[in-house]
Structure 1
Amino acid sequence: MNTRPKLAGFLSHPPKYMISLMFWLLALASLWLGNAYAATLEPEVSNGVAGALSYLAQNPFAYLFLTLAIGYPLGRITVGGICLGATAGTLVTGILIALASSAIYGITYDIPGLVEDIFLMLFMYALGMRVGPQFFSGLARGGFDFVMIGLIVVFSNFLIVFFGVKVLDLGPGYAAGIISGSYTVTAVMGVAQSAVSTGAFQLPEGVTADMVGANMAAGYAISYVLSSIFIILLVKYLPRMFGKDAVAEAIKAEQEFSGGEDGGALPGTAGTSLLGFTDKQIRSYVVEHEELVGLSVSQLFKKNPHAAILKVVRGDEVIDAQADPKLQMGDVVGVMGEYNLLLSGSDKVGNEVAEPRARMVDIEVADVHVGKSSFAGKTLTELGQELGFGVHLKSLFRAGVAIPHLPKTVVEKGDVLRLAGPAWCVEQAAKALKAKPIVESTYTEVSFMSLALFVGFVIGHASVEISGIPFALGTSAGCMLMGIFVSWLRTRNPDFGGPMSEGARSFLNDIGLSLFVAVLAAGVGPKIMSSFQGTVVIWIAVLGLLGALVPPFLAWLYGYYIRKMNPVVLAGACAGGRNSTPALNGIQDISKSGIAAVAYPVPYALTSAVVLILGYIAMVFS
């Protein structure tokens, strides 16, 4: 019995459980190596698991990537049709490692906050680059609803937590801490603490500022962990809970928010250089008609602008049309044109033959921005007669929207033409239009991306103080807005800012959020044990979960039943209202689309400011 083919197939396409097993083996190997290394440094504390965890604490790089290596396959495990996803899997893994290290061995992970900030800002910029092309059309279509969803979420969170703490008589500080944790906005702790330090909150007799701070920290730590995990699952599966297919609804939303006909990917986004399906073909004919002999390729194109000769085969010689050769009797020519036109080629040129050399033409798809050109203002028919040699128009975009490209459509300055044809033909047309062809590239202009991140950081870092409460957009939100702005401008002119490959953007998106969550888990994990104080921890957990999950669910009911919003877009708005970027990532994963992010920034920005005010009020009146 021959088992070699089966073995080869197994090795080339291993089962999913084998891939997960490989991750776990790598994790165990990393721990073993850490143990061996730590044993050479500190023999007295480096036995077994303790040595391995000590090694991870001394080397945060190892901790971060071990967390990702375990968290990603953990997030793929499906139970009852539900899975955590990569983000929640990484968060749970990081918390368990940090919690076990702290509770059992007293080992903590001290990772600089700069690491967390850098990866979060990279993720937010990459997210902005993805959502930017549809952001402003989404804002125009659903701006009011996005604002209402944000207000529903933030005020219902405040009411649930504030009055819940009052009813349960949990004491001062818990309300602000639970609001901060359930909303996953750490800055609420800062404004609440300022209310204590400035005297806006009067300390009751027998209560010290340190006691209030401890209550605040306990409420924050427990509610933060629980809300961070469960909000991902809630937002991710809201469409399914109401009988909606997230993938199908995302496709509908993309069509709705495109604002025009389906012209393919917008300029400056992924997929612009895909040839796709076309009615243009290249077929080969023998020159047999005397009236064609002696005419050049360009002269023949002027007589018939709907077909172009791209190759001339003369014996053993293959002549490119760029040399503008004159035809001779018996030449084999490769002609590109519409299928129905080429069917009559034998009547106008000669018999069709199977000559692959005449049809071997590399076709390029590129976006060309119409600049200050004398061709602006002409119809597509006129443009094709003068510049259309060897190219055909796949799509026409105006102000970032695909518009019908009909024969009488007038081309305006600022339009983007998507041309397909041999590279030299596309280059020739672009030069006449005072532009250069933009082809989707694997290259990323790092200098421009860095400049955009710098500007986004400065904008987000700027702070305005109102009544003693500092308000700032936030550096991560600033970077996201710059990503939106840059990608939006690229739909108008794909040459703006240099290219950013989709591979680079996708990598920044995935690794940025995952490492941010891993760093977050390292800091939050040890605080959980210190927060356990009898039955209080149960009430904190209950209020934290209610404050985290009920408000976005109420917002969902408003958007779904009253405003009849698209379920995927609505889920993105709920994630924004809850300030949960991982939740947004969850709905994008399950819908296999980035359209949910269209609804994210408006409620995110609104609630980021309002929750600070409410947190301050909760502290003052607690």
Structure 2
Amino acid sequence: MFEWLKTLLFPTEDPSVIQSLVTIMLAIGTGVFFGRLKMGKITFGVSAVMFTGLILGHFGYRMNEEIFDFIRDFGLILFVYGIGLQVGPSFFSSFRNEGLKFNILAVSTVLFGGFITFLLFKFTGVSIENLVGIMSGAVTNTPGLGAAKNTIVELKNQFPDKTFDDPTIGYAITYPLGVFGIIGVIILSKVLLKIHPDVEMRKFRMNKINREEPLIHKKLRVTNPQYFGIPLGEVINSIGHEIVVSRLKHSGEVSVFSPKLDTELQDRDVLMIVGKEADLQDFIKKVGRPSTDSFIESDSDINKKNIFVTKPSAVHKTLSDLDLYNAYDVKVTRVFRAGKEMIPRPSLELFYGDILRVIGTDQGIKEAEKIIGNQEKKLIEPDFLSLFGGLLIGIIVGSIPLVIPGLPIPLKLGFAAGPLIVALLISRYGGISFIHSYINNGATYFMKDLGICLFFAAVGIHAGEGFYENFIKYNGWLWILYGSAVTFIPLILMVIVGRFFLKINYLQLVGIMSGSYTDPAALSFSTNYLDSDIPIQSYAQVYPLVTIARIFTASLLILLLT
């Protein structure tokens, strides 16, 4: 009676497409469940899908060959594209601050791990395909494994008579080592370095205050006769600070308005100014004194509102192109993009999803909304045309053959690096034509987690087939020893260099450690263990470049040493 249910749920050697989909759902469902369980302060999250896939594969569950490659590759593409969109804005801007130092340290760690893998190849007799799998698992790097497998497929097409080992086996054997190894180094380094998270937090905050001041507003009373009768634009240019004057009230009057750059200052005018605190204090000191006038904050004459950029007529236009002040008597006082607050310079190019804080009359703001859009509902709904257009470009870029002298086949970025690089560039430049960078956070997280779950499930089930036999056949304990060298030696060296030579805050260093090994489980552990979200920031700063470096390292090792 229930034979159909048994056929669906129990393993078979020759599964249909439906049976394969059920197997994928079982791996993901059970993996997510166990990933939420805590072992002390450790949770594996979606990484547990890899382990449940291994178990199912070991007990006979299989996938139809017709859909295995599709699910594995499509999952990887979704994952890296989501990562690129998520961290792109902070990735490029970080290079103006500490990002360059962080990325040099992280990429050096990647290259050192690749060098250790090369030494293991020279002295152990293990094939480079297996060693690249061991390396990818030891540093929990999924895109690196994907790149390695894509490179092997290209080599098989070029040399059909040659046999290649499957790097998935080494990856599956050393992956748990990578997860627990990084966590172990975090715990050990905290103890040996006598780290106090509260002290590190205070140091970080002081450093951030000195480096990245937020935008604030202050009130100013004009009392310096030097600036009486001088146009506002000339005053701002002569003092040389990036500030915005959002409101002005003449002395003795109650009306408040948004001044133009040619508005002449008068004695005892009250200004509302926006900018960084140090700039505002210097401006106030030179022009007059702080004001306590509360009438300038009144909304009786002008109103304040946030407007979302959603209309094509405003996207990729500069603020000077829109000329909202002269057209509608509306002034932009701040621009918010990807959680970052920016001064509205006339040359600032607007991206889809930006938020403009404006002041003006009700009628003026309504007219400005017709140009800018302000259709917040559009930002909630996923734009599939933009999403799949970006994915298509990423796949095309990843498929471009790069001819490098000395390599047996052209090098390709593959399904891992291609979509990642395209996503980073789209997020940096706001999009290409109808393809834009904005996807709401919920959709981005869903795409990223769905992608990695599909990839982990497919790879785990495939690697689970004959996992125990392969562990015995290839002397798995010896492979774990090789993986330990790749896991621990670069990581320990990173802690020494980062802490003692580069003087990096430990909370940030932990994020770089997790990011260098692209390990979300270690990141999750570190935020709980140190009771801080600071590691997430440095993790995001190094993740894209590290991922690209690991993709190229894995591909080049196979191309050069097979």
Shorter-chain TM band: 0.5 to 0.7
Q: 1:26 corresponds to which residue?
A: none
Percent of paired sites with the same residue: 17
Structure-2 separation of matches of 1:189 and 1:612:
9
- Gap runs ≥5 in structure 2: 138-143, 220-252, 259-290, 310-317
Q: 1:91 aligns with which of 38, 44, 50?
A: 50
Structure-2 separation of matches of 1:429 and 1:108:
55
**Which one has the largest radius of gyration?**
1
Structure-2 separation of matches of 1:152 and 1:344:
53
Superposed CA deviations along residues 571-609 of structure 1, whole A, max 9, x for unmatched, are: 55545654x465687579766546522211223223422
Structure-2 separation of matches of 1:571 and 1:460:
31
- 8 Å CA contact 2:41, 2:525 repeated in 1: no
| Residue 554 of structure 1: how far off its partner (Å) | 2.7
Q: 2:32 aligns with which of 56, 59, 72?
A: 72
Q: Equivalent residue of 1:463, what SS?
A: coil
Q: Which residues in structure 2 correspond to 1:13-52 (within 5 Å)?
A: 36-39=3-6, 50=10
Structure-1 separation of matches of 2:209 and 2:541:
9
- 8 Å CA contact 1:259, 1:402 repeated in 2: no
Superposed CA deviations along residues 275-311 of structure 1, whole A, max 9, x for unmatched, are: xx999xxxxxxxxxxxxxxxxxxxxxxx744499xxx
| Residue 447 of structure 1: how far off its partner (Å) | 0.8
Superposed CA deviations along residues 101-160 of structure 1, whole A, max 9, x for unmatched, are: 26xxxx56644211222222122222111111111122344335424432333334433x
Q: Which residues in structure 2 correspond to 1:433-448 (within 5 Å)?
A: 435-437=372-374, 439=376, 441-448=379-386
Q: 1:608 corresponds to which residue?
A: 551
- Gap runs ≥5 in structure 1: 1-32, 200-207, 265-276, 280-302, 309-337, 350-361
Q: 1:597 corresponds to which residue?
A: 540
Q: Equivalent residue of 2:421, what SS?
A: helix
Letter in 2 for 1:132: G
Distance 1:244 1:452, change over 3 A: farther
Q: Equivalent residue of 1:83, what SS?
A: coil
Q: 1:558 corresponds to which residue?
A: 497
| Residue 424 of structure 1: how far off its partner (Å) | 6.2
Q: 2:424 aligns with which of 484, 487, 490?
A: 484
- 8 Å CA contact 2:177, 2:483 repeated in 1: no
Q: 2:178 corresponds to which residue?
A: 231
- 8 Å CA contact 1:255, 1:262 repeated in 2: no
Q: 1:518 aligns with which of 429, 453, 457?
A: 457
Q: Which residues in structure 2 correspond to 1:3-402 (within 5 Å)?
A: 36-39=3-6, 50=10, 59-84=19-44, 86-101=45-60, 110=65, 111-141=67-97, 142-143=99-100, 145-159=102-116, 161-164=117-120, 171=125, 173=127, 175-184=128-137, 185-186=144-145, 187-188=147-148, 213=164, 216-217=165-166, 220-235=167-182, 241-242=189-190, 243=195, 256=208, 260-262=212-214, 304-306=254-256, 341=294, 365-367=306-308, 370-374=319-323, 386-387=329-330, 393=333, 395-396=334-335, 402=341
Letter in 2 for 1:370: L
- 8 Å CA contact 1:99, 1:528 repeated in 2: yes
Using the size of structure 1 for normalisation, the TM-score is 0.60
Report the more deviating stretch, 496-505 or 420-429.
420-429
Distance 1:478 1:566, change over 3 A: farther
Distance 1:209 1:503, change over 3 A: closer
Q: Which residues in structure 2 correspond to 1:521-536 (within 5 Å)?
A: 521-533=460-472, 536=475
Letter in 2 for 1:604: T
Report the more deviating stretch, 127-136 or 605-614.
605-614
Structure-2 separation of matches of 1:193 and 1:398:
41
| Residue 363 of structure 1: how far off its partner (Å) | 8.6
Distance 1:442 1:249, change over 3 A: farther
| Residue 452 of structure 1: how far off its partner (Å) | 1.5
Q: CA RMSD in A?
A: 5.1
Distance 1:59 1:480, change over 3 A: same
| Residue 38 of structure 1: how far off its partner (Å) | 4.4
Q: 1:417 aligns with which of 341, 351, 356?
A: 356
Q: 1:19 corresponds to which residue?
A: none
Letter in 2 for 1:89: A
Structure-2 separation of matches of 1:608 and 1:366:
40
Structure-2 separation of matches of 1:487 and 1:262:
22
Letter in 2 for 1:542: L
Structure-1 separation of matches of 2:443 and 2:206:
23
Distance 1:525 1:253, change over 3 A: farther
Letter in 2 for 1:559: G
- 8 Å CA contact 2:386, 2:435 repeated in 1: no
Structure-1 separation of matches of 2:552 and 2:293:
61
Q: Equivalent residue of 2:380, what SS?
A: coil
| Residue 561 of structure 1: how far off its partner (Å) | 3.0
Structure-2 separation of matches of 1:259 and 1:430:
35
- 8 Å CA contact 1:147, 1:606 repeated in 2: no
Superposed CA deviations along residues 351-382 of structure 1, whole A, max 9, x for unmatched, are: xxxxxxxxxxx996324662424467x9xxxx
Using the size of structure 2 for normalisation, the TM-score is 0.65
Distance 1:91 1:435, change over 3 A: same
Letter in 1 for 2:413: L
Letter in 2 for 1:600: Y
- 8 Å CA contact 1:131, 1:594 repeated in 2: no
Q: 1:359 corresponds to which residue?
A: none
Q: Equivalent residue of 1:444, what SS?
A: coil
- How many residues in Structure 1 have an aligned counterpart in Structure 2? 462
